[in-house]
Amino acid sequence: MKSVVIERAGGAEVLKVKEMPELAPRYGEMIIDVAYAGVGLVDILIRKGEFTELFPFPLTPGIEVSGYVRSIGDGVEGFRNGQPVVTPQLTIPLDALEGELSMAEAAASIVNLTTAYMAVKQVNRMREGDTVLVHAAAGGLGSFIGQVAKRFGASRVLGTVGSPDKIKLAASLGYDELLLRSDFVEETKRIAGAQGVDAVFDPVGGETRARSLELLRPLGQIVALGNASGGEVLHNTNDIWLGNMNIAGFNLGAYAVYDPKAVGQAASEAMQLLASGKIRSEVYGIYPMENASEAHRLLESRQTSGKLVLQMG
């Protein structure tokens, strides 16, 4: 059985393809023959050793995969051998969805789409007619948030991108206005007016998140969904109190441990939107597993839009 393996923290060169022993499912487990695996920023951080307490080396990266059930352990019900599935931490049977969804799309979408769906619906509790701002609108997560926000009643969805070449793609993903992140504060005020926006969805973090506070309407909310910038910004709680602001955080992996049933339900609902064509995914590129290092380097260069996927086997 071939697998991509990381034996130590480091750059993209530490990703190696190796023969691994066959696995047998323990109680409550299934073995999946992986067809495709999504590549995300969290994989970069894991590879660099940011989360060694949770992901000690050596390890096989990949938290979002699609494939086929090979074997089923005791205590597992509702699945069969050969069944197509997609899984972040919870496994969703693809043949239960109405419509068509490729294995590559499923692996590329499951984590980001479920995150976008829950961030808009459960965390922000978006209301009909809201005006929202989404950072990294052409990224893997941002490519879904604009579309999901429209589905839940947002009347105006603004998005920021890091470079002009990403504007065309983002414009096709449900955004009404696209702004360069370098001057997003001034441009958002020009478009939304002095009242600002109802919500900001932010996977970028750092100074971008700090500057977004001044764009919130009273009782508006920033939803923190990541920290791609790597920057740390402390917020003055007195400013948040006096300004009637809200800051919420959402991490899908941690919440799935706390309430797997809720995440599983949201994932099924979100993937059904994709399978039925009500929203669409943006797959930037599909690479053979032997080129995992190339995919990591490309993602780190911040030149991609949408999602990168590895084809396994």
pTM, rounded to two decimals: 0.91
Q: How far apart are CA 97 and CA 19, in angstroms?
A: 34
pLDDT at 56 over 90: yes
pLDDT at 63 over 90: no
Q: Exposed, middle or buried: residue 246 (CB in 10 Å: 0-12, 13-18, 19+)? A: middle
Q: DSSP letters along the chain, please?
A: -EEEEE-SS-SGGGEEEEE-------TT-EEEEEEEEEE-HHHHHHHTTTTTTTSPSSB---S-EEEEEEEE-TT--S--TT-EEEESSS-EEGGGSSS---HHHHHHHHHHHHHHHHIIIIIS---TT-EEEESSTTBTTHHHHHHHHHHTT-SEEEEEESSGGGHHHHHTTT-SEEEEGGGHHHHHHHHH-TT-EEEEEESS-HHHHHHHGGGEEEEEEEEE---TT-------HHHHHHTT-EEEE--HHHHHHH-HHHHHHHHHHHHHHHHTTSS---EEEEEEGGGHHHHHHHHHTT---BEEEEEP-
The whole-number average pLDDT for the span 132-158 is: 95
Contact status, residue 161 vs residue 138, Cβ threshold 8 Å? yes
Contacts of 86 (CB under 8 A, 6+ apart): 64, 65, 66, 92, 94, 103, 106, 107, 110, 271
What is the model's pLDDT at position 304? 81
- The predicted-structure confidence for 235-262, as pLDDT tens digits, reads as follows 889 999 999 999 999 999 899 999 999 9
pLDDT at 234 over 90: no
pLDDT at 13 over 90: yes
What is the model's pLDDT at position 229? 82
Closest listed residue to residue 208, CA positions, set 160, 256, 142: 160
What is the model's pLDDT at position 277? 95
User: Distance of CA 62 to CAs 21, 44, 55, 287, 308, Å?
Assistant: 18, 10, 11, 14, 12
The whole-number average pLDDT for the span 197-213 is: 95
Contact status, residue 313 vs residue 35, Cβ threshold 8 Å? yes
The pair of structure tokens assigned to 40 is: 């995300």
What is the model's pLDDT at position 302? 81
- The predicted-structure confidence for 65-101, as pLDDT tens digits, reads as follows 999 999 999 999 999 999 999 987 778 999 999 999 9
pLDDT at 232 over 90: no
Percentage of the chain exceeding pLDDT 70: 100
Closest listed residue to residue 273, CA positions, set 285, 264, 261, 281: 281
Give φ, ψ of 210 to 5 degrees.
-60, -45
Q: How far apart are CA 246 and CA 248, in angstroms?
A: 7
Q: How far apart are CA 33 and CA 205, in angstroms?
A: 36
Residue 141 confidence class, pLDDT cut points 50, 70, 90: very high
